[in-house]
Amino acid sequence: VRSGANPVRSGSNPWWSSVAIRPCNEADARLATPPRHAKAPFATIYSRNTAAIQDKQGGKNMSGGVLNLICCACVPQSTAGVVERFGKFSRVINPGLNFLACCIGEFVAGAVSLRVRQLDVTIETKTKDNVFVVVVVSVQYEVENDQVYDAFYRLTNPLEQIRAYVFDVVRSTVPKINLDDVFDQKDEIAKAVKTDLAQTMPSYGYHILQTLVTDIEPDSRVKSSMNEINAAQRQRVAAADKAEAEKILVVKGAEADAESKYLAGVGISRQRQAIVNGLRDSVQAFTREISDVSPRDVLEIMMMTQYFDMMKDVGSNSRTSTIFVPNTPGAVSDVSSQIRNGFLQASAGMPEQQNMRR
């Protein structure tokens, strides 16, 4: 043992370079903190490897590290310590207080975390339709207690190894898929990554629990174009629905107009039928009361009455559109004669039409 040696063990120094003899007090001995200017009258032998113990999964110093104090090692929970003897692997120590045979060259070479960890890998690749996307894959992994040796010694940088496999699988899978299908098939991509890692990493001591595709981010311009395409499709559907609604309104309006005109025609027909029935009843009653008056004379009298009623209505309403007709009483007889002649001609033509049909 040489006095004043560096208490931090490096890979190139022999095992005994981590042990030093320095004066310290009892409190420093309990805390295992090497004092620089202690003035206690006694000395103690200590070895602290905290700075040298690297997390093999992250490449960083572990907080709380493994502490060697007078041939003792304190291992934190969910951590496995690796003990070497003269630079060669000796054994794995569990969490808690562990005793080392310092006299025969045992020391703690490092520690491996047994907790479940997650590694996020960001990959930029292109799809089958030549669109570049950024895919984020999260890999959840752990080291089994019986595989500490492989996890500590077989790989120098396991995280880079995992990243390399993830890059390889994603960049060989996504280029076979169109951009629209990448979002639908992200579970298949994650399954392919997990399958490849599960076949390779267990031999190095790492167990792959799950792989997740947590984000798929296309180029901002492509995203904007996709949103515009979607908006145009929705606008086209909205326009078709609007046109269909207007068509329904027009059809229903036409149906309503036809129905109203039909009902108006039925009303006019009934009105005229009622007028005819009323005229017939009036003529029959008039002829029964006055025997020397013919039905033609009765019709002429009634037409004269309606004519004067019409003239009264036209004169009383200033906003009525009028058509000027002969307004002498003799004109009524002319109108009545014309109507009568029309009926006579129609009745005379009926036998000829029946003969022609035969």
* Cα–Cα distance for residue pair 117/196, rounded to 1 Å: 18
User: For the residues 27-31, what does the mean pLDDT come to?
Assistant: 36
* Cα–Cα distance for residue pair 218/127, rounded to 1 Å: 10
- Please name the residues in contact with 322: beta carbons below 8 A apart, sequence gap of 6 or more: 314
Q: What is the 3-state secondary structure (H, E, C) of 46-74?
A: ECCCCCCCEECCCCCECCCCCEECCCEEE
Q: Percent of the chain beyond pLDDT 70?
A: 66
- What pLDDT does residue 348 have? 63
Judge whether 111 and 141 are in contact, CB under 8 Å. Answer: no
- What pLDDT does residue 116 have? 94
**Residue 354: pLDDT band with limits 50, 70, 90:** low
- What pLDDT does residue 316 have? 76
Judge whether 111 and 75 are in contact, CB under 8 Å. Answer: yes
The least confident of 66-70, 130-134, 193-197, 288-292 is 66-70
- pLDDT at 253 exceeding the cut of 80: yes
Residue 148, CA distances (Å) to 10, 25, 83, 142 in order? 21, 37, 11, 10
Judge whether 164 and 185 are in contact, CB under 8 Å. Answer: no
pLDDT higher at 341 or 160: 160
Query: Minimal CA–CA distance to 108: which of 98, 118, 116?
Result: 98
Q: Percent of the chain beyond pLDDT 90?
A: 30
Judge whether 22 and 37 are in contact, CB under 8 Å. Answer: no
* Cα–Cα distance for residue pair 120/101, rounded to 1 Å: 41
Partnered with residue 306 across adjacent β-strands are none
First to last CA, the chain: 146
- pLDDT at 266 exceeding the cut of 80: yes
Does the predicted model carry a pTM greater than 0.85? no
- What pLDDT does residue 13 have? 38
**Residue 54: pLDDT band with limits 50, 70, 90:** very low
* Cα–Cα distance for residue pair 138/190, rounded to 1 Å: 9
DSSP-derived letter for residue 86 is T
**Residue 233: pLDDT band with limits 50, 70, 90:** confident
**Residue 77: pLDDT band with limits 50, 70, 90:** very high
The least confident of 32-36, 107-111, 174-178 is 32-36
